[in-house]
Structure 1
Amino acid sequence: MKCVIFGGGGFIGSTIADRLLLEGHELRIFERPRVEPYRKFADNEAVEWMTGDILSNHDLNAAIEGMDVVLHLVSTTLPKSSNDDPIYDVQSNVVGTLQMLNAMVANKVQKIIFISSGGTVYGIPKYLPIDEQHPTDPLVSYGITKLMIEKYLRMFESLHGIQSIALRVANPYGERQRIETAQGAVGVFLHHALKDIPIEIWGDGSVTRDYIHISDVAEAFVKAVNYTGSHSVFNISSGQGISLNELIVLLENVLGKSIACRYLPARPFDVPVSVLCNQLAQEQLQWTPLTSMTNGLIRTAAWMESELAKS
């Protein structure tokens, strides 16, 4: 299939792109201007690298023309900072997605897979693990705009027959995760531990998250590309909760050394616990997470050590 991946050069997108290439798909990767390809592609890999502006109708139409599937991985904000400027969050993410959907209609492209946020759309859980029917009461603008986009996907499905799939991904971690964005406890903690920088923990360390290795996320997207069923929203998660304090212990075991921590006052937007049920994805997508937390941390640590040695 011919797939265009918006945001295909980043941490998540590049891993999905590599996995789709292994399946023999033809890719068009759309990135921001001045973003270079994340690696050199082989002559037998069908990849077209394109840069542009997601708010430009011209660029969107050029990217979507001739494609079979759109993978929408772009987000201009982060959960922790999205409340600082909700207007920008809506203008850049929701409006950009609507223009993308209009371009799909114009170019008669009938399938879109969107990365939603399992960690923010549900808010404070009413029960655990959280399934797809759980109430959605996000505490951050990031989660609100993700839900808005999900609703517009369903509207365009109803109006124009575009099959939409929203994957509510838990907390992804793994190789290629950017440290400078400070998104993702695993990446930040591991980086600090390797450089012997004390780790700052907001609250008492009891905040619990559902961490999933990026290879399992990429596999879920491959399954979604091929999915023809009637379900449109799936949790993509490990299904296991790990607190920040437990994560520190796991990292100490993997690295073989003690890690210094500083505990700071809790942040009001941090949901105390988020653990997602992935049963629907297992049943419908025939997908299951395969990478254990320990093995995932070992792989991520080896990659990060290699990257730090280059700098």
Structure 2
Amino acid sequence: MSVSNNSRRIVLLGGAGFMGRALSIRLRDRGYDVHVLTRSITMNTPDGVTVHGGGIENSELIRRLIPQSSTVVHMASATTPSLSSKSPSLEANLNIAPMLGLLEELQQHPQVRLIYISSGGTVYGNPKQELVSESAELKPLSFYGAGKVAAEGFLQCFQRASGSPIIILRPSNVYGPGQPRYQGFGVIRTMLQHMLDHSPMTIWGDGSVIRDFIYIDDVVSAIECVLGDKDASGIFNLGSGVGHSLNDLKNIIEEVCADTLSVHYESTRTIDVQRIVLDTQKMQQCFDWTLTTSLREGIKKTWEWLCLRKHQRN
């Protein structure tokens, strides 16, 4: 049952997306008054969640909702690494500029907290460390990653100027049931779809690149932990702390699905990070957060969801 007071009202920017929908359902179940902003007003609205047709650039809607809320969770992103690779201005126009408008409104309401979802998979580039902590140098390889770094810079300036608490979360590669398929984004979702369709998949490089994968429920529980600490601020990695190559991932998926995935390899792209595994000790120590879903278990749950969805559509 929703609680309709400002201390429990949460605004989710980009809340109709993969992460936003999972988070909105969890927060609703915890008794929060959840308000979702989305350009996609045709979304299948979870019961007990209020959906507003409009994006972060809708200044009138932002001005109306912010004063009535305790926390804003900013998950909105209108780009992917491949989308802005040839059009870097998309990062400024579609992501940075609307966020600056949000900060202008938040200046008037210092009591409202902001949680920003950045990208632990892109902001560090190709780090030298085996496990990458939040203090590592930010050296993004893509315009998408550079956009996240720029956004973080503006947020930290805002925090120093206003004194308002800002939390920046840097998740690694998030996957799980409910994830839509995007071109060049979400490798687990993409591999499973190719397995389902019995179609060949392209891997850029030789498959040796290493990624850190985190299941959607673990990301949601991390955000919930942060929401429970009203004094929290800072930057926190979210990941598994374990790296898997794309070839490892292919093997696990073939074992889970009991089938063979057809793959062909293409030349490595310059925007692709070669190795990234996140150190999550800070998140664990500050919020007593722990990972609960292994990669194999998460892939199995995602595969079962995809198969069920296909069965329901047939």
- Establish whether TM, by shorter chain, passes 0.5: yes
State the secondary structure of the residue aligned to 1:50: strand
Alignment map for 1:1-311 (pairs within 5 Å): 1-32=8-39, 34-41=40-47, 45=48, 47-229=49-231, 231-311=233-313
Q: Give the direction of change, closer, same or farther, for the CA distance of 1:291–1:85 in structure 2 (3 Å limit).
A: same
Contact kept? 2:226, 2:232, Cα under 8 Å: no
TM-superposed CA distance for 1:182, in Å, is 4.2
- Letter in structure 2 aligned against 1:293: L
TM-score, normalised relative to structure 2: 0.93
Q: Write out per-residue CA displacement over residues 284-303 of structure 1, whole angstroms, 9 at most, x where no aligned residue.
A: 12111110011101100010
- Letter in structure 2 aligned against 1:56: N
Percent of paired sites with the same residue: 32
TM-superposed CA distance for 1:56, in Å, is 2.9
Q: Write out per-residue CA displacement over residues 48-89 of structure 1, whole angstroms, 9 at most, x where no aligned residue.
A: 110113223212212323000000000111012222111121
For 2:31 and 2:58, the matched residues in 1 are separated by: 30
State the secondary structure of the residue aligned to 1:84: coil
After TM superposition, which residue ranges in structure 1, 4 or more long, deviate above 6 angstroms? none
State the secondary structure of the residue aligned to 1:310: helix
Contact kept? 2:113, 2:164, Cα under 8 Å: yes
Q: Give the direction of change, closer, same or farther, for the CA distance of 1:3–1:231 in structure 2 (3 Å limit).
A: closer
For 2:153 and 2:235, the matched residues in 1 are separated by: 11
Contact kept? 2:167, 2:232, Cα under 8 Å: no
For 2:204 and 2:183, the matched residues in 1 are separated by: 17
State the secondary structure of the residue aligned to 2:274: coil
Contact kept? 1:229, 1:284, Cα under 8 Å: no
- Letter in structure 2 aligned against 1:103: E
Contact kept? 1:110, 1:161, Cα under 8 Å: no
For 1:135 and 1:151, the matched residues in 2 are separated by: 13
For 1:95 and 1:108, the matched residues in 2 are separated by: 20
- Letter in structure 2 aligned against 1:36: T
- Letter in structure 1 aligned against 2:31: G
TM-superposed CA distance for 1:27, in Å, is 0.7
TM-superposed CA distance for 1:191, in Å, is 0.4
State the secondary structure of the residue aligned to 2:242: coil
State the secondary structure of the residue aligned to 2:130: coil
Contact kept? 1:210, 1:240, Cα under 8 Å: yes
Calculate the aligned-residue CA RMSD, in Å: 1.4
Any unmatched runs of 5+ in structure 1?
none
Contact kept? 2:218, 2:293, Cα under 8 Å: yes
For 1:265 and 1:142, the matched residues in 2 are separated by: 21
Q: Which moved more, 1:246-255 or 1:15-24?
A: 15-24
Contact kept? 1:67, 1:109, Cα under 8 Å: no
TM-score, normalised relative to structure 1: 0.94
Q: Give the direction of change, closer, same or farther, for the CA distance of 1:83–1:283 in structure 2 (3 Å limit).
A: same
- Letter in structure 2 aligned against 1:23: R
Q: Write out per-residue CA displacement over residues 22-42 of structure 1, whole angstroms, 9 at most, x where no aligned residue.
A: 22111111001x43233440x
- Letter in structure 2 aligned against 1:15: A
TM-superposed CA distance for 1:148, in Å, is 1.4
Any unmatched runs of 5+ in structure 2?
1-7
Contact kept? 1:123, 1:139, Cα under 8 Å: yes
- What is the aligned residue count? 306
State the secondary structure of the residue aligned to 1:281: helix
